[in-house]
Structures are given as C-alpha cells and as structure tokens.
Amino acid sequence: MKVLVTGAAGFIGSYISRALVWRGDNVVGLDNFNDYYPRNCKEFNVDLTRLSDLQAPQIFEESEIRPVFDKLEDYYGGKKEDKPGTFTFYEGDITDYDFLNGLFEKEKPEAVIHLAAMAGVPYSTKNPRIYTYVNVDGTTNLLTLSKDYNIRKFVFGSSSSVYGNREDKKVTEQDDVSKAVSVYGASKVAGEVICHAFNVIFGLPVVIDRIFGPIYGPLQRPYGMFHQRAVNYTYNGKKIKVYGKYGLKTAKDSTYIDDQVEGILECLDSNFLFDVFNTGTSEPLQIQTWIESVETAFGKKLEAEVVEVDTSDVVSSADISKAQKMLNYSPKMNMYEGVKRQVDVFKLMPEWYKTMEKV
C-alpha cells in the first residue's frame, strides 16, 4: 500500500515511516522542517528512513548514521518483510493547498497518516494562531484532498490534550472533549471534529488516535521533552530543572515510541469507517521514576531541582481497554528498558546532541 505520512521528519513520523517500509509498504513522506526544533535533527530522521529503503540512493555520509539505524532496526519488534518498501520524501507545507494537490496528483497515495502538527503545549500559549493555521487549516487541506482522491484510510494523530485536565479518572473515548485547557489541545479537538464531519458528509474512512505522551525512546523530540533533557543533563553532569503540577511526583502516561507506532499502524490496518482510540500505557509513572531510569541507564546520579510547581500542567491517564479489545493494541515496554535504549543511542552521538543548544 502507498501511504502518505505527514510530519515524516518528526519523531513519531520518522518511526512510522521506517516501520511501514520495513513491512513492505511504500511511503511518501512529507514535512516542512519547521523551526520548532533544529533542522539537522529532522534531516537525521529522514536519512534514517532513507536507509530502510534499500533501493533509495543514499545521499549522506553513513559513518554516524549506520550504527544508530542498526540499533533502531534491532529494537523494532514489529512486522518485517525480506523485501522492504520504498521511501520518497517531499519538503513542503500542509497549509499550501496547491503544493499538496500536486503531491496527491503525482503520488496517488492510498492512505494517509497525518502527524504533521505544531506540537507542544507551552509554545501554543505564546503562538496560538500558528497552531490553528497548521493543525486546523492544514488538516482540512489534507482531508479535502483525501476525499477527492478516494483515500482508503485517514489516520489522524490526535492527543490526550483533547481531554483537558482530567486527573479524576482514567479517560475513555466517550468523555467530554469540549474542555481543552490549551490552544494545542483545542486545535486537536477542532481537527478531530472536522475529521468526523468529512466522514459523515463524504464517507471518508477516518480513525483518530489520541496519543498519550510524552512519547519517549531513542531520538525523542529534543525540545520540551523531559526524558531527553534528563539524558543530556546526566551525561553533562548538569542540574536539571523540574516543572510539573506536583513536582517530582507529577505522573504522566508516557508511551514508548515502538508501542505507539504499533497503535498507529493498528489504526491504519483496521476496517472501521470512523472510530476514536486512546493509545497510552494506562500506567502513569512519576517524574521521579523517569529520573531513576535515566540514572540507572547511565550508572550516574542526576541532580534535580523543582523550580516551580506548574499549576497549568495537565494530568490525565488513558483507559486503553477499547484499543486493546478492538485493535489488539498492547503496549509492552518497561520504562527502564525503554530509557536504556534512549541512552544507548544517545551515547553513539553525544557530540551531535551538543548542536541542540536548548536541550
């Protein structure tokens, strides 16, 4: 199957692209390399995916990337074909309708996994309009073309942020999503609602995946993600600042990247005409535990200081029973092992991480 993956240079999108290629699908990757975090990080992700396509011309120096690729391939426990699929990459913007139209016309994808987005909550408070422009208008462009080109399945990468602050119980897919408490969360709610309308009006098959983060694992998105900062700070012997609603006891339903990839692929492969699934772990772990897992992986202490209790921080945990039952979704990773993998890949290229000044 030919699958258009938007946000293919990002953390999750690059993992999804490789998994699809490994299992024999042909991927058309799209990303605009926005400046939310450094371009070289995203280019590295794209080059890693190019390596998974054995037919692709390799246009980069392999010395640094090959050991990372080998580890990621080793870690991936999903389906793999002897004859992998292909990867074709386009740099372009989902808000540019004419560009997108040309891409659909040329490539004729059969399915879309839509992960391109302005991600991250705090940045959305400072820059609300870019969030609605990309996450709502960009999504509408993709849905319009998916309808016009008779796409077989549209998977929308949504977020636990649609639930707002719901620490009272594990959230289920039936819960109210009209009370987002961030512009990011609100933009994802809007994306979901437009997906629903396209399904009802045009019969476009859509599955919405409410991703519970922070997603962690090797090459985690570098900015705004605690695990990656903790890895860098431990390596560099620096004291880390902790934000969060309950300081070190703040707990998040943090999912390992390959478990999340499995959930997204199960959404893609499902036969539902429209449905919504939570994919998380349902077992939130405290920041204290995240720190301990990084310390264990390095065999070295990390000094942490709670600088500010962030009362606007949102806490929610997923009820994943629907995905378990209907998608066969089954997250497996133990946090200590997942963080060890993140640290092991970091150790292959600590100098490269120094090029990211904010981490």
Ligand X SMILES: NC(=O)c1ccc[n+]([C@@H]2O[C@H](COP(=O)([O-])OP(=O)(O)OC[C@H]3O[C@@H](n4cnc5c(N)ncnc54)[C@H](O)[C@@H]3O)[C@@H](O)[C@H]2O)c1
Footprint on this chain of ligand X (rule: CB under 6 A)? 7, 9-13, 31-34, 36, 42, 93-95, 115-119, 134, 138, 157, 159, 211, 213-215, 221
Question: Mind giving me the DSSP string for 112-142?
Answer: EEE------HHHHHH-HHHHHIIIIIIHHHH
Give kind and range of the element (H or E) at residue 299.
none
For ligand X, which is the closer residue by CB, 83 or 220? 220
For ligand X, which is the closer residue by CB, 138 or 205? 138
Residue of 15, 36, 76, 184 with catalytic role: 184
Q: Where do we find the tokens 């066969």?
A: 328
168-196 burial code (b ≥16 CB/10 A, e <16): eebbebebebeebbbbbbbbbbbbbebbe
For ligand X, which is the closer residue by CB, 34 or 316? 34
Q: How far is the CB of 162 from ligand X (least distance, A)?
A: 10
* Cα–Cα distance, 139 to 56 (Å, whole number): 29
Q: How far is the CB of 303 from ligand X (least distance, A)?
A: 25
User: Is 163 a catalytic site residue?
Assistant: no
- State residue 8 phi and psi, 5-degree precision: -70, -15
For ligand X, which is the closer residue by CB, 83 or 129? 129
For ligand X, which is the closer residue by CB, 11 or 22? 11
Whether residue 287 contacts residue 248, with contact meaning beta carbons closer than 8 Å, is answered with yes
Q: How far is the CB of 268 from ligand X (least distance, A)?
A: 14
Q: How far is the CB of 266 from ligand X (least distance, A)?
A: 16
Q: How far is the CB of 279 from ligand X (least distance, A)?
A: 9
* Cα–Cα distance, 280 to 329 (Å, whole number): 10
Q: How far is the CB of 185 from ligand X (least distance, A)?
A: 10
> With left for phi above 0 and alpha for psi between -120 and 50, is residue 316 left, alpha or beta?
beta
- Exposed, middle or buried: residue 66 (CB in 10 Å: 0-12, 13-18, 19+)? middle
Alpha helix (H) ranges present in the chain? 11-22, 39-52, 65-75, 97-107, 121-126, 128-132, 139-148, 183-202, 226-236, 257-269, 287-298, 321-326, 335-347, 350-353
Instruction: Give the distance, in angstroms, between the CA of residue 253 and the centroid of all CA atoms in the same chain.
Output: 14
For ligand X, which is the closer residue by CB, 115 or 143? 115
251: helix, strand or coil:
strand
Active site members: 184
